[in-house]
Structure 1
Amino acid sequence: MTRRRRIYEGKAKVLFEGPEPGTLVQYFKDDATAFNNQKKGVITGKGVLNNRISEYLMSRLSEIGVPTHFMRRLNMREQLVREVEIIPIEVVVRNVAAGSLSRRFGIPEGTPLPRSIIEYYYKSDELNDPMVSEEHITAFGWAGPQDLDDMVALSLRVNDYLSGLFLGIGLKLVDFKLEFGRLWENEEMRIVLADEISPDNCRLWDVKTNEKLDKDRFRQDLGRVEEAYQEVARRLGILPEGGPSDVKGPKTIQ
């Protein structure tokens, strides 16, 4: 077996050199971190579930015209993605007050926001991922005005689509984080959605009970972390029960 060259290792994933130029293999780990890596643990099976969940959501977004780096799933923990130049900005879309927004502004968690709010954070573990403005982003050259316009437009489309998809299976999309990258094709550059979409970077609450079904269960020591990720996959109809190729569609919750 050929040893693959490791390109990058993050807190939840490892990127390996892909089989063809311009591709990477994205491997999903079971490792879990919170509070800028101050809290660490393992969520058994998280990598398998996040691989499946992210595959499903990225594929659906691609179908409505959202460009992504995702190409195809390779096995239970790996997927083939296009190699992109990651823009060092995390785009956070908030629909309901939770997490740092509740703490910063004293808004009770669970309060619906008057409209969706977009925030930017500079990707830097050393600096604790500080919140930044569009002025910072353009002044420091992390992204240009057109890049930002594209990222915001794509983020709002993703929010609109995923809010409806999750609502159909009894889940409220409270907030989520997106990452983007630059993809060059035939000397032309375009902004594409990168990284992953999973309970690791989405807050998902049950519509009826407000039970948290995401990484907040790990952050807040709520227990039943593995079961929460499994429940999201089950509602989407993609819990890996029948083998790697057994991918179904979402099941609507009445």
Structure 2
Amino acid sequence: MPVLELTARIEPDIVGRSKRLWLLPDGLCLVQIIPSLRSFTYQRDEIVERTGPLRLEFYEKAAARVAAAGVPCAFRERVSDDLYLADYVPAPPFEVIVKNRATGSTTRKYPGLFEDGTRLPRPVVKFDYRCDPEDQPIGEDYLRVLGLPVDEMRERALVVNDVLRSWLHPVDLWDFCLIFGQTEDGELSVISEISQDCMRLRHQDGSPLDKDLFRGGVEGDEIVNQWSRILDVID
């Protein structure tokens, strides 16, 4: 069956917060982006049409650059506006977050340490346990007890940070999150989406180009307009 027919004829094998996933032969999967935006902090959870294709266009470009820098990515190819093929690697309940500025959970969970937006002297890497209703910071030693390659995940996350900052300049990358999966041979691979939905970006004029617009109460049409601006900057 052609992969594009799967979404109409077969129920997905996995449904998450922002993806539907169909398992395919040969270790592949078909992934459909759900155009959802969610903020636990600001109690918003909505479907914003047209954000899905914008996310996927960004992700396709970002994955190519990350892979070229030597960090394996599960992404294979886009097959429609909101569907792509990827290697199937099971997702662990942990994500890696890189922060170039103090913002978001940093200032909310640790009040008084930094002013919001403070540029950090070096990138900060932290790990979160992915759970509802809100992800929680987790100590690295817990991950080591589980046998996870914490140091390698940190190193690769910093490589991704360098790649994205260079590629996106002069847009300023404030922070982003990644999920690393492990293939059967133990290789780490970026299996999460890399897009406006999972990072904070600031235009040269200081305006947000990411999900902070949604967190701030901006309506869907304006979110789409602002997210489209980033595509005018990147190649």
TM-score, L = length of structure 1: 0.83
Gaps of 5+ in 2: none
Q: Which residue of 2 aligns with 1:195?
A: 192
Q: Which residue of 1 aligns with 2:131?
A: 124
Tell me if 1:42 matches 2:38.
Answer: no
Distance 1:132 1:204 in 2: 25
The correspondence of residues 162-181 of structure 1 with structure 2, limited to 5 A, is 162-167=164-169, 170-181=170-181
Q: Is the CA contact 2:42–2:215 (under 8 Å) kept in the aligned structure 1?
A: no
Gaps of 5+ in 1: 237-249
Distance 2:135 2:34 in 1: 21
- Work out the number of aligned pairs and report it: 225
How has the CA–CA distance of structure 1 residues 21 and 5 changed in structure 2, closer, same or farther, with 3 Å as cutoff? farther
Tell me the SS of whatever aligns to 2:91: strand
The correspondence of residues 228-247 of structure 1 with structure 2, limited to 5 A, is 228-236=226-234
Following superposition, the deviation at residue 38 of structure 1 comes to 3.8
Following superposition, the deviation at residue 46 of structure 1 comes to 0.7
Q: Is the CA contact 2:74–2:190 (under 8 Å) kept in the aligned structure 1?
A: yes
Corresponding letter in the other structure for 2:29: L
Following superposition, the deviation at residue 54 of structure 1 comes to 0.5
Distance 1:234 1:96 in 2: 24
1:52-97 per-residue CA deviation (whole Å, 9 max, x = no partner) reads: 1101100111112110111111111111000102122111100011
Percent of aligned positions that are identical: 28
Following superposition, the deviation at residue 116 of structure 1 comes to 0.5
TM-score, L = length of structure 2: 0.90
1:24-57 per-residue CA deviation (whole Å, 9 max, x = no partner) reads: 1110121211117942112220111111110110
Among 57, 63, 76, the alignment partner of 2:62 is 57
Following superposition, the deviation at residue 233 of structure 1 comes to 2.1
Distance 2:210 2:117 in 1: 15
Following superposition, the deviation at residue 23 of structure 1 comes to 0.7
Corresponding letter in the other structure for 1:192: S
Distance 1:77 1:206 in 2: 25
Corresponding letter in the other structure for 2:156: L
Q: Which residue of 1 aligns with 2:106?
A: 101
Distance 1:37 1:182 in 2: 33
Tell me if 1:87 matches 2:89.
Answer: no
Distance 1:59 1:68 in 2: 8
1:120-157 per-residue CA deviation (whole Å, 9 max, x = no partner) reads: 1001115x211011112223x2x42xx21221111000
Q: Is the CA contact 1:11–1:32 (under 8 Å) kept in the aligned structure 2?
A: no
Tell me if 1:115 matches 2:106.
Answer: no
Tell me the SS of whatever aligns to 1:6: coil
Distance 1:14 1:38 in 2: 23
Q: Which residue of 2 aligns with 1:75?
A: 80
- CA RMSD of superposed structures (Å): 1.7
Q: Is the CA contact 2:168–2:233 (under 8 Å) kept in the aligned structure 1?
A: no
Corresponding letter in the other structure for 2:132: D
Following superposition, the deviation at residue 210 of structure 1 comes to 1.3
Q: Is the CA contact 2:101–2:174 (under 8 Å) kept in the aligned structure 1?
A: yes
Corresponding letter in the other structure for 2:231: A
Following superposition, the deviation at residue 165 of structure 1 comes to 0.8
Tell me if 1:17 matches 2:23.
Answer: yes
Following superposition, the deviation at residue 5 of structure 1 comes to 4.2
